[in-house]
């Protein structure tokens, strides 16, 4: 779970392997998680880079990490390795994620109630020490301790995405660059 939660020793070892492999390839390791049961564990590795990751990035990292995991052989039995981008509504796992995505829309779920509320939906304002300052759409500003966040994800801001697309189109027209854009997830 990274900085905000406890992590098993297997997960920590996978994280170390994936982190080195990602760094060597100019990628950001976003998150590692173990899912499934003991009989058929699934190792999920989420990576990113500016402009988004490609299928080739995922494939290359998967081959490297899979080879190291097979050689070190510390995951009991047969496992499935999945390497992918974190997606548009990426999870937020560390203090750095909240700092990086300040100003963006997000959803937070806390372990316990904060002023009678466990689910927050709104905008990340800033990080102050070990607290996330959050502007909830319903209740207004809240100070949420990082240690109390059980799950958090960015949300797509449709209006902002349309604004960015219009700005890109204007810039392309000014610079004489045309064509269609594709979105990778």
* Residue 145 vs residue 40, higher pLDDT: 145
Q: What was the pLDDT predicted at 151?
A: 97
Domain termination site, one of 35, 56, 84: 84
CA 54 vs CA 37, 83, 154: distances in Å: 29, 11, 20
Query: Sign of the C-alpha dihedral, residues 121, 1, 100, 163?
Result: negative
**Average pLDDT, whole number, for the chain?**
89
Provide the pLDDT confidence category of residue 183 given band limits of 50, 70 and 90. very low
Whether residue 72 is contained in a domain is answered as yes
In a domain, 177, yes or no: no
Instruction: Pick the range with the lowest mean pLDDT from 23-32, 127-136, 166-175.
Output: 166-175
- Whether 17 is covered by a domain: the verdict is yes
Least confident among 28-37, 123-132, 176-185? 176-185
Whether pLDDT at 10 is above 70 = yes
For residue range 82-125, what is the model confidence (pLDDT) as tens digits? Answer: 999 999 899 999 999 999 999 999 999 999 999 899 999 999 99
24 and 69 together in one domain: yes
Residues 77 and 132 in one domain: no
| Together in a domain, 28 and 78 | yes
Boundary-marking domain end, from 32, 58, 84: 84
Q: Is residue 110 part of a domain?
A: yes
Q: What is the CATH number of the domain that holds 102?
A: 2.30.30.180
| Res. 181 pLDDT band, cuts 50 70 90 | very low
Q: Tell me what pLDDT residue 109 has.
A: 97
Number of domains within the chain: 2
Q: Are residues 113 and 133 in the same domain?
A: yes
For residue 112, being part of any structural domain is answered with yes
Both 22 and 79 in a single domain?
Answer: yes
Confidence of residue 179 (pLDDT cuts 50, 70, 90): low
Q: Is the same domain home to 132 and 107?
A: yes
Q: Are residues 105 and 139 in the same domain?
A: yes
* CATH (domain of 36): 3.30.300.70
Residue of 38, 41, 37, 39 whose CA lies nearest to 14: 41
pLDDT single digits (tens) 148-165? 999 999 998 888 778 888
Q: 7 with 78, same domain?
A: yes
Q: In this structure, are 63 and 132 located in the same domain?
A: no
Supply the range of the domain harboring residue 137. Answer: 95-154
Question: Does residue 183 lie in a domain region?
Answer: no
Q: Is the pLDDT of residue 49 over 50?
A: yes
Per the domain annotation, does 169 fall within a domain? no
pLDDT, position 157: 82
Write the CA distances from 10 to 33, 64, 101, 165, 169, integer angstroms. 10, 17, 29, 42, 46
Please tell me whether residues 79 and 102 are part of one structural domain: no
């Amino acid at each position: 779970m990274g900085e905000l939660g406890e992590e098993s020793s297997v997960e920590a070892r996978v994280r170390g392997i994936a982190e080195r492999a990602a760094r060597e390839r100019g990628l950001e390791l976003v998150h590692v998680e173990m899912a499934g049961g003991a009989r058929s564990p699934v190792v999920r590795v989420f990576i990113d880079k500016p402009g988004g990751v490609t299928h080739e990035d995922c494939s290359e990292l998967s081959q490297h990490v899979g080879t190291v995991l097979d050689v070190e052989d510390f995951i009991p039995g047969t496992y499935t390795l999945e390497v992918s981008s974190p997606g548009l509504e990426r999870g937020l796992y560390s203090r750095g994620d909240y700092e990086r995505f300040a100003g963006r829309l997000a959803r937070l779920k806390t372990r316990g109630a904060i002023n009678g509320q466990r689910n927050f939906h709104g905008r990340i304002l800033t990080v102050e020490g070990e607290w996330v300052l959050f502007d909830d759409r319903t209740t207004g500003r809240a100070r949420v301790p990082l240690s109390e966040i059980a799950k958090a994800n960015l949300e797509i801001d449709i209006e902002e995405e349309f604004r960015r697309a219009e700005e890109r189109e204007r810039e392309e027209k000014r610079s004489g660059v045309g064509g269609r854009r594709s979105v990778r997830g």
